[in-house]
Amino acid sequence: MLDPKILREEPDKIRSMLKARAVDFDLDALIKLDKQKRELIIKTDELRKKRNDMSLEIGKSKKEGKDTSSLLDEMKKVSAELEKLESDQNKIETQYTKLAFTIPNLIQESVPVGPDAASNKEIRKWGKIPQFDFKVKDHIDFSQSLDLVDLERAAKIAGARFYALKNDLVRLNQALINYALDFLSEKKYTLIQPPFMINKASMDGAIIAEDFENVIYKIQDEDLYLIGTSEHALVSMHSDEILEGNHLPIRYAGISPCFRKEAGAHGRDQKGIFRVHQFEKVEQFVFSRPEDSWKEHEKMLSVAEEFYQKLGIPYRVMLLSSGDMGKISAKTYDIEVWMAGQDAYREIVSCSNCLDYQARRLMIRFRDKTNEPTKYLHTLNSTLVATSRTLVAIMENFQTKDGHILVPQVLQKYFGKSTI
């Protein structure tokens, strides 16, 4: 949700954002509802005051033995009028909130304007692309030859794009998780394993729900959804709270499974474990003071980069265009890692600054002193590791001529050996 002050004083700023994102949104309707809402607030406040004044006058007249019948009749009319205005106000408030919850976030000025991924900007590359003197295999080949993944039986249990990890890949998956948690713990992140389900109020606060209808799994006959990422649960942890300013920034490391319908996969992505309905992820999440959030954004990106550098996986950092990034984000970096079996960089990390957009929806505020006015804080999120895609990168980039996989050095103490 955007600051209503921007809606009233800088509507052209919002129009520019909508154009850059190529989003069809009825801004005029929102402006009209905002005006009606404010007018009704003034009218209802005036009528409440009038009713209160009349109540005092009636009480005074009764004490003095005066006839109050005309005053009582007038008060009934005022009360009826107030009841109607309050009903109208509630309707307008509901319409306003529903529409305001669907408007995208503003865009930071450094974001390239463009309709899709073709307009994304490469910021930098790290690492040397591995060269092989033998025919390169992809992770699907290794899944079969080393008996690491059972797709057929997983499909029998749950359907397409589910998987069963087997043997050494189970251990490598856990090694990635344990290393990621130690990595963030050393950087003073608080480890959180949130609920794996989330109610609608929390979901509406974290995302634009209508954009995720075809992505998130709904629990039938329950006010619950399976989380698509721990970010949604982590941001909702502090809903309707006023935090102490001297406690900011708060840095969480969320660990959870993620559940997504992942519509739109094609080609080889329909097979294997690159694009799946369920996977584990360790997530960075930060609650920040507004003046510090851009610094925190760059810091989160550097933390994610360091993680992949220590794994020894080549990558590039991409700044997403206005048409490619999510609607709740003001600026998003992706890290795309090299996958030798696909001969391409593929997205593995998304790092976003949402400014006060989520905080306004969830009423998360802070103040430095008890008597000071509260302010909305900023929220930021970044993948550290989505294990299934990172497993793909390891299998493809660390393959050997004799058909095995080398384990990255930083994972060997968690995994227990150096080769799969």
User: What's the CATH number where 166 sits?
Assistant: 3.30.930.10
Strand order in the sheet with 241-244: 241-244, 364-367, 375-376
63 and 95 both lie in a single domain: yes
Give the tokens for residue 366: 């802070």
236, 350, 352, 382: the catalytic one is 350
Total of domains in the chain: 2
240 and 296 both lie in a single domain: yes
92 and 149 both lie in a single domain: no
Identify residue 6 by its one-letter amino acid code: I
74 and 187 both lie in a single domain: no
Identify residue 258 by its one-letter amino acid code: C
Cis bond leading into 249, ω under 30°? yes
Task: Give Cβ neighbours of residue 183 (< 8 Å, ≥ 6 apart).
Answer: 307, 310, 384
Range of the domain at 50: 4-100
Within-domain flag for 333: yes
29 and 122 both lie in a single domain: no
What DSSP designation does 238 have? T
What DSSP designation does 226 have? E
0.95 cut: is pTM over it? no
> Is 270 within 8 Å of 160 (Cβ atoms)?
yes
215 and 351 both lie in a single domain: yes
Strand blocks (E) in 162-213: 164-165, 190-192, 197-198
Within-domain flag for 72: yes
Within-domain flag for 105: no
81, 86, 93, 347: the catalytic one is 347
Residue 67 is predicted with a pLDDT of 84
Within-domain flag for 112: no
Task: Give yes or no: 350 in active site.
Answer: yes
Task: Give Cβ neighbours of residue 158 (< 8 Å, ≥ 6 apart).
Answer: 277
Residue 330 is predicted with a pLDDT of 98
Mean pLDDT by 10 residues, the chain (420 residues): 94 96 95 94 91 87 84 86 91 95 96 95 97 93 93 92 94 97 98 96 92 88 95 96 96 96 61 90 98 98 98 98 96 97 95 98 95 95 97 96 96 96
251, 275, 346, 365: the catalytic one is 275
Within-domain flag for 279: yes
286 and 331 both lie in a single domain: yes
Residue 371 is predicted with a pLDDT of 87
Task: Give yes or no: 389 in active site.
Answer: yes
231, 361, 389, 396: the catalytic one is 389
| Surface-to-core class of residue 117, CB atoms within 10 Å of its CB (0-12 exposed, 13-18 middle, 19+ buried) | middle
251, 260, 346, 360: the catalytic one is 260
Residue 269 is predicted with a pLDDT of 60
End residue of a domain, out of 70, 100, 130: 100
327 and 374 both lie in a single domain: yes
Within-domain flag for 264: yes
